[in-house]
Chain A
Amino acid sequence: MIPLLVRKLFERPLLQWILGLGEPPVKRPEARHVYLRPLRFSTGVRGLDGLLGGGVEVGSITELIGEFGAGKTQVCHQLAVMVQLPRGSGGLGARALYVDTEGTFRPERIVQIARHRGLDPEQALENIVYARAYNSDHLAALLRSASEEALRRNIGLVVVDEVSGLPRREEKRSERVRAFHSVVAGLRALAALGVAVVASRQVVFAGDELAPAGGAALDSYAHRSLFLKKRGESLVTVEVIDELGLGRSSSFYITEEGVVDA
């Protein structure tokens, strides 16, 4: 019988690898120094990049809050393309994993945006790993498997569009709490791996004001929070509501080519 200590040692990935029993442990170098020299990729909109300190930060969770039609999904589509651009052109030269909880992903938008950004539309679509989540358990399971995918398939961005709806559907309060816990844990694990995580979030009425859906359960789960408000046919204003840039704002247009500066 193998003593417990030896068994414990064999469970460690590094030792397994040395002994030829398993795969080598993989760590993204970006994850370790994310705060010291944060790696970012451009949103394709100067105003948005400015609000985020230069673009979407790798190793962080960035959330896009807004009501239906405010442009959250449009930004998500654009980011799934932008991350594919080479590093010298503002991207990460990486793929995107797109988790869709509302069935709003539109490949034709990816084609339009990719063309405008000078990418081969077919290749751009191939570089997006798409997954549709149907309930909160499914979403949590997808996020868990996303960690493996991120390391295996050069995923630089994980998009979750939208994050609050599925956990809120749970009937029992205790189940809702568990569901929110699993989803946030999944997102945080991905960010800790050195992946840029972007999640959109619906709003609800709190008194006579709009407030992010999910209440306390999703309070401050993201590192950067942007509030999107539609101001006309295609104009959207964005306000930073996290303390790292509180009160700063900018705007963009939603056009056929994607999201562009106002």
Chain B
Amino acid sequence: MHSLASRAGVPPRGFSLEVSGRPGSGRRLFVWGLLEEFAGEGVLYFDLVGRFTRYLYSAGGEAEGVSVVYTLSPEEMVSLMRGGEYGLVVLDSVPRLFFDTETGYKARWGAVAQVLYAGLRVALRGGRFVAVNYRSRRSFGETVFSPYFTHRVATEFKEGTLRVAKLYPVGGEIVLDYTWRRRSEL
């Protein structure tokens, strides 16, 4: 049976993946599915949104091997990513990091780029980095941030079906029945 990661077209190790979509597109369902696959190797989750924490508690509490961090300081995030060996690092999400960081307009772009670059370095060292992003016609900050991703996918959710469109480096689509998410447990 193929893993979710391989179906989405990412290699087993060494990738920096952007998962983008509109609100209600099931972006996080896909990311949480990936997380299940790599939880055994240690996960660092930057939950700037607060939904993953609620999800964990609704599923019965903390998950083994998953560290959830709430910091909004890009410097701390970079330092955590550099300092540890994780099977997977998740940034949730790019827009929240951009808009919630307390700094000037131009510096916000730099702050996000700094974190994404640290994520790319995780990938270059053979780790895995996933960032949740917003998408309307294009993903948020696409021109500036896309160079930091080795792979990019977009999600869409309709009538219980999660569709994951591969955007880069190769196209394609995978279709997931939503029931896979409800069956699984962290």
B55 touches A225 (CB 8 A): no
Q: Which residues of chain B have C-beta atoms less than 8 A from A244's C-beta? A: 51, 54-55, 58
A145 within 8 A of B: no
Interface size on B, residues (CB 8 A): 37
The distance from the CB of B32 to the nearest CB of chain A, in whole angstroms, is 7
A46 within 8 A of B: no
A216 within 8 A of B: yes
Q: Which residues of chain A have C-beta atoms less than 8 A from B104's C-beta? A: 174
The distance from the CB of A179 to the nearest CB of chain B, in whole angstroms, is 10
**How far is A211 from B141 in the complex, measured between Cα atoms in Å?**
18
- As a 0/1 sequence over residues 160 to 184 of chain B, the CB contacts with chain A under 8 angstroms (1 = contact) are 1000000000000000001000000
**How far is A217 from B108 in the complex, measured between Cα atoms in Å?**
13
The residue in chain B whose Cβ has the minimal distance to the Cβ of A36 is: B57
**How far is A130 from B136 in the complex, measured between Cα atoms in Å?**
35
B51 touches A242 (CB 8 A): yes
B144 within 8 A of A: no
**How far is A241 from B155 in the complex, measured between Cα atoms in Å?**
13
A87 within 8 A of B: no
The residue in chain B whose Cβ has the minimal distance to the Cβ of A211 is: B22
Q: Which residues of chain A have C-beta atoms less than 8 A from B53's C-beta? A: 35
Binds B, one of A94-102, A180-188, A228-236: A180-188
**How far is A65 from B105 in the complex, measured between Cα atoms in Å?**
27
Q: Which residues of chain B have C-beta atoms less than 8 A from A221's C-beta? A: 49, 96, 99
A178 within 8 A of B: yes
Residue from B55, B57, B95 in contact with A219 in the complex, judged by beta carbons closer than 8 Å: B95
B24 touches A220 (CB 8 A): no
Q: Which residues of chain A have C-beta atoms less than 8 A from B16's C-beta? A: none
A interface: dominant SS: mixed
A53 touches B157 (CB 8 A): no
A184 touches B23 (CB 8 A): no
A24 within 8 A of B: no
B32 touches A243 (CB 8 A): yes
B134 within 8 A of A: yes
Q: Which residues of chain A have C-beta atoms less than 8 A from B102's C-beta? A: 181, 185
**How far is A224 from B136 in the complex, measured between Cα atoms in Å?**
20
A223-B23 contact, Cβ under 8 Å, with A178-B105, A206-B136, A216-B99 = no
A215 within 8 A of B: yes
A35 touches B54 (CB 8 A): yes
The residue in chain B whose Cβ has the minimal distance to the Cβ of A37 is: B57
**How far is A73 from B95 in the complex, measured between Cα atoms in Å?**
27
B57 touches A35 (CB 8 A): yes
A247 touches B178 (CB 8 A): yes
**How far is A65 from B54 in the complex, measured between Cα atoms in Å?**
21
The distance from the CB of B25 to the nearest CB of chain A, in whole angstroms, is 9
Q: Which residues of chain B have C-beta atoms less than 8 A from A181's C-beta? A: 99-100, 102
A223-B54 contact, Cβ under 8 Å, with A177-B108, A216-B98, A243-B32 = yes
Interface residues of A in 11-44 (CB under 8 A from B): 35-36
The distance from the CB of B108 to the nearest CB of chain A, in whole angstroms, is 7
B29 touches A220 (CB 8 A): no
A252 within 8 A of B: no
List 28 A–B pairs whose Cβ atoms lie within 8 Å, in order of A's numbering: A35-B57, A173-B105, A174-B105, A178-B105, A180-B99, A181-B102, A206-B137, A207-B137, A211-B23, A212-B23, A215-B140, A216-B95, A219-B95, A219-B96, A219-B140, A220-B49, A220-B51, A220-B96, A221-B49, A223-B49, A241-B23, A243-B26, A243-B28, A243-B32, A244-B55, A247-B157, A247-B159, A247-B160
Known: A221-B99, A243-B27, A246-B29. 16 other contacts (CB 8 A): A173-B105, A177-B105, A185-B100, A188-B100, A211-B22, A211-B23, A211-B136, A216-B99, A217-B99, A219-B93, A219-B96, A219-B134, A220-B51, A220-B134, A246-B157, A247-B157
